[in-house]
Structure 1
Amino acid sequence: MTTDTISTADAAASVADSLADRLADVWVELEERLDRVPVLSRLAEGTVTLRDYERLLFNLRQQVVDGSPWISRAASNFDIEHFELRTAAIRHAEEEHRDYLMLERDYVAIGGSLAELRAGRKNLGSEALSGYMFHYADRSNPTGLLGAMFIIEGLGAKRAAGWAERFQEVLGLADNQVHFMQYHQEADSEHTGALEAILTSGIIDESAADEIVRCAQVVARLYALQLEELDN
């Protein structure tokens, strides 16, 4: 191994380590903001209602249904030099494109109307989040969207199952009424593992790292916003 090869490897490792630290800071800020979201505060306190849960599912569905389309759009904008990222995006879009159906089944299982759910519109935060995702996905080689995946998949892996368990504790819900959240702990844990492999693979340079962190910051804020703006 030449000195230049060692130097390149060290530089890549330094970028990866710095990126991990910066994303961890974004995550901490998101956690702090989520703790102040009214519906999640009531969930933690044990004062959440079935109506709260119904509203949460209703509002999440309007954004979740856009998940696979923006990932597919991003995949189409990666060139051959970013083949690994294009492949990962295509695989991820395929895995995500039925997720909203699980959410719909949970909604109906708690007594909600499927017709009303499907006729619903995005709230202010969801409009902003989906708009940002599609806009970013239209860029050439939208590597920064790895930051969006860090936030969205991280929430599924680290928070969704806990939310589901707490809703069950407080409201006495059955597994078939919280399946969407339960499912994402396992599925998104796999996704975050794949994401971490990309982020530490050495293919992310300093410029891409900056884009990833900035995208993570924006998506973290907009995701929290959609939870703050239920029904608005």
Structure 2
Amino acid sequence: MTTDTVADTLFVRLTEVWADLEERLDTVPVLARLAAGTVTLDDYRRLLFNLRQQVVDGSPWISRAASNFDTDHLDLRSAAIRHAEEEHRDHLMLERDYVAIGGSLDELRAGRKNLGSEALSGYMFHYADRPNPVGLLGAMFVIEGLGAKRAAGWAARFQDVLGLADNQVHFMRYHQEADGAHTGDLEAILTSGIVDDAAADDIVRCAEVVARLYVLQLEELDR
């Protein structure tokens, strides 16, 4: 299969993963309440509380992945290092939003991951420990895609329903632009010719797992 064919087929498969993710997100209770306009400030507070415990792990697993790319994958190592550097303070934005809606910073930082977050972070660190963990591009496709395509819409809806100020939804709004740039970088990597059939399979499988675990993380807000 030619490089262009591998890339084209990969994007078709990832589009299917994304479509399935969107369907599952529509059934998540907190997001259903957000869409219906019945979401509460406590819902938003719990969402930030639970997201923070996963977001704080983002840069560390990306850094670990970078350390496991060998010299034949220097471009991926460099991209991962840049990505980790860009995101290692993201949780601080979320913390400021949480405090701005009346949450306790001490309680937030002392919080524990919910079951979905535990599973998601555990999977990411486990995968990042593999030699040349190219499949993690699938995780980036899901996570960065959510930031680029959904976060700003969620922020706007929370503002409409709850009357929140911009400084109370900064984390979500920021990620529309930042993750939009990251998805552009990801697309460049996926079409660069470094992804063969085996790597494409790994990328799709990782995207499928991360999509399911991300939804589980959001579902656990109501448990």
Query: Structure 1 length normalisation: TM-score?
Result: 0.95
- Aligned residue runs from structure 1 range 56-75, under 5 A: 56-75=47-66
Counterpart AA for 2:79? A
Matched, 1:137 2:134: no
User: Quick one: distance in 1 between partners of 2:37 and 2:190?
Assistant: 38
Shift of 1:13: 0.2
User: Quick one: distance in 1 between partners of 2:167 and 2:113?
Assistant: 25
User: Quick one: distance in 2 between partners of 1:24 and 1:221?
Assistant: 15
Shift of 1:231: 6.5
Q: Greater Rg, structure 1 or structure 2?
A: 1
Q: How many equivalent residue pairs? A: 223
Aligned mate of 1:203, from 194, 198, 218: 194
Counterpart AA for 1:119? A
Aligned mate of 2:160, from 156, 164, 169: 169
Does the Cα contact within 8 Å between 1:107 and 1:177 map onto a contact in 2? yes
User: Quick one: distance in 2 between partners of 1:117 and 1:30?
Assistant: 28
Moved over 4 A (4+): none
User: Quick one: distance in 1 between partners of 2:87 and 2:23?
Assistant: 27
Does the Cα contact within 8 Å between 1:55 and 1:231 map onto a contact in 2? no
Matched, 1:99 2:90: yes
- Aligned residue runs from structure 1 range 18-167, under 5 A: 18-167=9-158
Query: Structure 2 length normalisation: TM-score?
Result: 0.99
Shift of 1:230: 1.3
Counterpart AA for 2:61? W
Unmatched runs of 5 consecutive residues or more in structure 2: none
Does the Cα contact within 8 Å between 2:98 and 2:105 map onto a contact in 1? yes
C-alpha RMSD over aligned residues? 0.7
Unmatched runs of 5 consecutive residues or more in structure 1: 1-9
User: Quick one: distance in 2 between partners of 1:93 and 1:28?
Assistant: 27
Aligned to 1:4: none
Does the Cα contact within 8 Å between 1:153 and 1:188 map onto a contact in 2? yes
> Percent identity, aligned pairs only?
82
- Write out per-residue CA displacement over residues 144-194 of structure 1, whole angstroms, 9 at most, x where no aligned residue: 000000000000000000000000000000000000000000000000000
